[in-house]
Amino acid sequence: MHRMSHRFNRRLKQKLKPTNLPTQRYTKIWANICEQNKSRTSRFNKTKKLVQISSIALLSLPAKSLTTLSEQIPTYSYDQVMQTNTLTVAAVKGDSTFFATDGFQHGFGYDLTRAYANSLGVKLELRTFDNDAQALTAVKLGQADMALTTASTANMEAQSLASMNLSCGQDKKLTSNGLHPKVNWSFKYSHDPLAITASHYLCDNHGMQETAKLANFYNQNLLKDAYNQQHFEAALDEQLPNYIHSFQEQAKNYDHDWELLVAMGYQESHLNPNAVSPTGVQGLMMLTNSTAEAMGVSNRIDPFESIGGGARYLNQMKEKFADVPNPDRLWFALASYNMGPNAIKKIQQELESQGEDGNSWANVYAYMLDNASNNSRYVQCMHYVKNIRSYLESIKLEENETQSV
């Protein structure tokens, strides 16, 4: 997902060189960027059209701040990131930024930020703050290289920070998926190479397409409709207490998060141990005859056996994708649970043949989304993984709220 273009080299040079920036320092910064992006040329040439820098929500610094710049040379976060090989991000938890409850960390903003760090060839370090003001202050004080928040423009201006919306002006692609339209990255200086490369990364044609696909996966609308929400809550209140110990015990047996197994059970059967499909799969985890036999399940209607069979099979799927880093490995395992590991591995191979990272769930999901019209199994698989993610988040949030009372 590397998106710089030679068509913008001249313009980028001009952006990087304030009138009073020493030539030696400017030359060093520009050389670093050019060297870093040599290997990306082939990918960047595929970009059809770059969005003009003036058209994205990258705010200029106030006149007062520019006067300060003329009196002293700023320290750019880009230099620090490259020297430490780490992008430090101040973030505030939210359904559009990142989800982190009970050690389960992922999210729309998180995945985009992680992908940007990967494009720079550096590690991501996420530092959590309680509110937007604290996160922005951390950037202002140089305690973080950038921030991931849903802070308002007024809050940015109060701190004299530059910001860009992750939607790059296409807010409907976020709002249609129940995401906050103003989730953004913010930087200490608008002319910092870190901010400029970030704007290109997000806002070229390819970047905006990939952002829209990621927003589709992190859709937050599933449980916002009254019917689905009531049905889900009723199952947790009425059905789950009967099987919670089975979920917890089998999760422990196979080193899973027990709430993940609950989310899978709800997706499969709405926690109904007597469920039977027209194709003959049955039980709480809706196992096929062949899968049940392979997992040592003699009675698919028995809740404990069914949960154990599902847990054992999920464990095998995780092992097949052991080289995929977390949290993506979970999405790969769930997709394989639904569609079979060979189908997912074929997608990986296709992506790698195109020069893409086959171990990126964002890439695999985008591939299925692009080819959904030709393969109904992709549609089913995307819904399966996306729904379980949504159910798991809801279960964890409810559990967290119960414990804090």
Q: What is the pLDDT of residues 343-382, one digit of tens each?
A: 999 999 999 999 999 999 999 999 999 999 999 999 999 9
Cα-only R_g, the chain:
23
Do 250 and 125 share a domain, yes or no?
no
Do 140 and 38 share a domain, yes or no?
yes
Q: What is the pLDDT of residue 179?
A: 97
Number of domains making up the chain: 2
Do 40 and 145 share a domain, yes or no?
yes
Q: Roughly what angle, to the nearest 10 degrees, separates helices 108-120 and 205-217?
A: 140
Do 347 and 397 share a domain, yes or no?
yes
Structural domain containing residue 249: 226-404
* DSSP H or E segment with residue 218: none
Is residue 1 a part of any domain in this protein? Answer: no
Q: Which two tokens stand for residue 23?
A: 């030539």
Q: What is the pLDDT of residue 100?
A: 87
The proportion of the chain whose per-residue pLDDT surpasses 70, expressed as a percent, equals 80
Q: What is the pLDDT of residue 11?
A: 42
pLDDT band at residue 68, thresholds of 50, 70 and 90?
very low
The proportion of the chain whose per-residue pLDDT surpasses 90, expressed as a percent, equals 74
Which of 164, 198, 217 terminates a domain? The answer is 217
Is residue 233 a part of any domain in this protein? Answer: yes
Choice between 243 and 32, residue whose per-residue pLDDT is larger: 243
Is residue 85 a part of any domain in this protein? Answer: yes
Q: Which two tokens stand for residue 190?
A: 């608008």
Is residue 232 a part of any domain in this protein? Answer: yes
Look up residue 64 and give its amino acid: K
Out of 13-22, 137-146, 161-170, 237-246, least confident range = 13-22
Please confirm whether the linkage preceding 327 is cis (ω < 30° from 0). Answer: yes
Do 181 and 265 share a domain, yes or no?
no
Which of 166, 198, 217 terminates a domain? The answer is 217
Residue spans of alpha helices (H) in 176-225: 193-203, 205-217
**Distance (Å, rounded) from C-alpha 159 to C-alpha 152?**
11
Tell me how far the alpha carbon of residue 55 is from its chain's centroid.
25
Residue 176 burial (C-beta neighbours within 10 Å; 0-12, 13-18, 19+): middle
Is residue 331 a part of any domain in this protein? Answer: yes
**Distance (Å, rounded) from C-alpha 135 to C-alpha 140?**
9
Q: What is the pLDDT of residue 398?
A: 84
- Bridge partners (DSSP) of residue 148 are 91, 185
* DSSP H or E segment with residue 398: helix 376-404
- pTM tops 0.85, yes or no: no
Task: Classify residue 146 as left (phi > 0), alpha (psi -120 to 50) or beta.
Answer: beta
| 393 given a catalytic annotation | no
Q: What is the pLDDT of residue 274?
A: 96
Choice between 385 and 37, residue whose per-residue pLDDT is larger: 385
- β-pairing, 123-129 vs 162-165, is unpaired
**Distance (Å, rounded) from C-alpha 251 to C-alpha 307?**
9
Do 176 and 279 share a domain, yes or no?
no
Is residue 14 a part of any domain in this protein? Answer: yes
Whether 230 and 114 have beta carbons less than 8 Å apart is answered as no
Of 268, 305, 356, 393, which residue is the catalytic one?
268
pLDDT at position 52 over 50: no
Do 202 and 284 share a domain, yes or no?
no
Is residue 15 a part of any domain in this protein? Answer: yes
| SS3 of residue 61 by DSSP | coil
Taking alpha carbons only, the member of 174, 134, 141 closest to residue 155 is 134
Buried b (16+ CB within 10 A) or exposed e, 102-123: eebebbbbbbbbbbbbbbbebe
Domain CATH for 383: 1.10.530.10
Out of 101-105, 119-123, 180-184, 317-321, least confident range = 101-105
Taking alpha carbons only, the member of 381, 391, 384 closest to residue 263 is 391
Do 293 and 164 share a domain, yes or no?
no
Residue where the block lists tokens 């320092």: 25
Q: What is the pLDDT of residue 103?
A: 75
Is residue 84 a part of any domain in this protein? Answer: yes
Mean pLDDT estimate for the chain: 86
Q: What is the pLDDT of residue 289?
A: 94
Q: What is the pLDDT of residue 12?
A: 43
DSSP annotation of 170 reads: -
Do 204 and 250 share a domain, yes or no?
no
Domain CATH for 23: 3.40.190.10
Do 165 and 231 share a domain, yes or no?
no
Do 238 and 165 share a domain, yes or no?
no
Do 290 and 211 share a domain, yes or no?
no
Alpha carbon distances (Å) from 5 to 9, 38, 319: 7, 11, 39
Which of 169, 194, 217 terminates a domain? The answer is 217
Q: Which two tokens stand for residue 58?
A: 């990258």
